[in-house]
Amino acid sequence: MDTQISVIGAGGWGTTLANLLAKKGYAVKIWSYEKETVESINLNHINIQFLPGIYLSDNLFAFTDFNDVIPNADIIIFAVPSTFVRNIANQILPFFSQKKEYKLVTVAKGLEYDTFKLMSEVLREILPKNVKIAALSGPNLSSEVAREFPTGTVIASIHEEILPELVAIFQTNYFKPYAIFDERGIEICGAVKNITAIAIGVCDGLKLGDNTKGSIITLGLTEMNRIGKHFGCARKTFFGIAGIGDLIATCSSKLSRNRSYGEKLAQGKTFAQIKIEMHGMVSEGVWAAKSIHHFAQQNNIDLPLTTQIYKVLHENKPMNEAISDLLTLI
């Protein structure tokens, strides 16, 4: 296993992908923002904060210094939440060698909230041309993948030639990547489904019914499609595994941080309480709702679900009112 693989970001998903590859036999290096996570992985083979309960492979080595993980890597998995992507990309920039080619796979599910840029766009803006970028997205709740539950995913890139190698690297007997070319499409799907998941969590917290949730998931899919159309994405991407597949998984799962964020909110918890309960994990949909709402306003895209969730999260609109306003708009 000569390919050198590094993962930037040791949250639930970065650690899961790193461990999947380490279990395949690659010696995987993972960079963590938190020093305690590095110690937890190296000394005890567990990521106690972000992936508790999963024993990590002896082939996984954690670091806090980019110099240990970037220069010699062939494949880099970029797994920090979208809010931190620009900052971390700027930090890793000096560590790339000019003399070799890198493949970088972005797995974050969010947009840059003030510029509306996709993560691949932010990364291409900052990183050198010898870094070829791809995106990976799908119905991939980290602790299910970590427990080897059969799961599909999609890898997409404008550099078609790198896809076969990436598919082969990630493929296991429980994780099946499909290559497609609609990189922007899968990134939009990943960001937008989180808003719907928060809405479904609100329905759960308010103890509303399955009819309500079915209506909202349908609206979420419609909105995904509308935004995607604006970005020139392929319609079939939204009806594929990274679109409706991830929408169903995230909205129906007790494990989803976005769905439980909405549920906790509807149970009357404050933003501060929820933040403490999430102990460092992120709910990307909170920022996606703001970003996509403003983007839609500026571009005259009608997104009633996103608008209502934005109002609940950022303008303190009562949740019952938001759901009933929404369903009269369907």
Ligand X SMILES: NC(=O)c1ccc[n+]([C@@H]2O[C@H](COP(=O)([O-])OP(=O)(O)OC[C@H]3O[C@@H](n4cnc5c(N)ncnc54)[C@H](O)[C@@H]3O)[C@@H](O)[C@H]2O)c1
Ligand Y SMILES: O=P(O)(O)OC[C@H](O)CO
CB of 81 to ligand X, least distance (A): 4
Binding test (CB under 6 A) with ligand Y, winner from 88, 133, 233, 249? 249
| Cβ–Cβ < 8 Å for 3, 75 | yes
User: Which span (79-87, 166-174, 203-211, 296-304) binds ligand X, by CB under 6 A?
Assistant: 79-87
Q: Tell me which of ligand X, ligand Y, none is bound by residue 10, counting a contact when its beta carbon lies within the kind-specific cut-off of 5 to 8 angstroms.
A: ligand X
Is 193 among the residues known to form the active site?
yes
Count CB neighbours of 45 within 10 A.
14
Distance of CA 81 to the CA centre of its chain: 7
Strands 75-78 and 102-106, sheet pairing: parallel
- For the chain, helix (H) and strand (E) counts, in that order, are 15, 8
- 289 binds ligand X per the rule CB under 6 A: no
Binding test (CB under 6 A) with ligand X, winner from 11, 177, 240, 262? 11
Binding test (CB under 6 A) with ligand X, winner from 4, 23, 24, 33? 33
Binding test (CB under 6 A) with ligand X, winner from 76, 77, 79, 162? 79
**Residue that is written with structure tokens 């510029």 in the block:** 115
DSSP string, 51-96: BTT-PPPTTEEEES-GGGTSTT-SEEEE-S-HHHHHHHHHHHGGG-
- Give me the helix-helix angle, 319-329 and 304-315, nearest 10°: 170
Q: Which is nearer to ligand X, 84 or 229 (CB)?
A: 84
- 110 binds ligand X per the rule CB under 6 A: yes
- 280 binds ligand X per the rule CB under 6 A: yes
On whether 84 is known to bind a ligand per the annotation, the reply is yes
- 142 binds ligand X per the rule CB under 6 A: yes
**Binders of ligand Y in range 253-282 (CB under 6 A):** 256-258
Binding test (CB under 6 A) with ligand X, winner from 40, 57, 140, 291? 140
CB of 279 to ligand X, least distance (A): 9
Where in the chain does DSSP place strands (E)? 5-8, 28-31, 60-63, 75-78, 102-106, 131-137, 151-156, 175-180
> Per the residue annotation, which of 193, 264, 290, 311 is the catalytic one?
193
Q: Which is nearer to ligand Y, 45 or 269 (CB)?
A: 269
* Long-range contact pairs involving 111-117 (C-beta distance under 8 Å, separation at least 24): 111/82, 111/191, 111/288, 111/291, 111/292, 111/295, 112/82, 112/85, 112/86, 112/291, 113/82, 113/83, 113/287, 113/288, 113/290, 113/291, 114/291, 116/291, 116/292, 116/294, 116/295
Count of residues engaged in binding ligand X, rule: CB under 6 A: 27
Which residues are near ligand Y by CB under 6 A? 109, 139-141, 194, 197, 246, 249-250, 256-258
Please report, as ranges, the residues that interact with ligand X according to CB under 6 A.
Answer: 9-14, 32-34, 50, 79-82, 84, 88, 107-110, 140-142, 280-282, 284
Catalytic residue numbers, as ranges: 193
Per the annotation, where are the binding residues for NAD(+)?
9-14, 84, 257
Annotated binding site: 9-14, 84, 109, 138, 142, 193, 246, 256-258, 282, 284
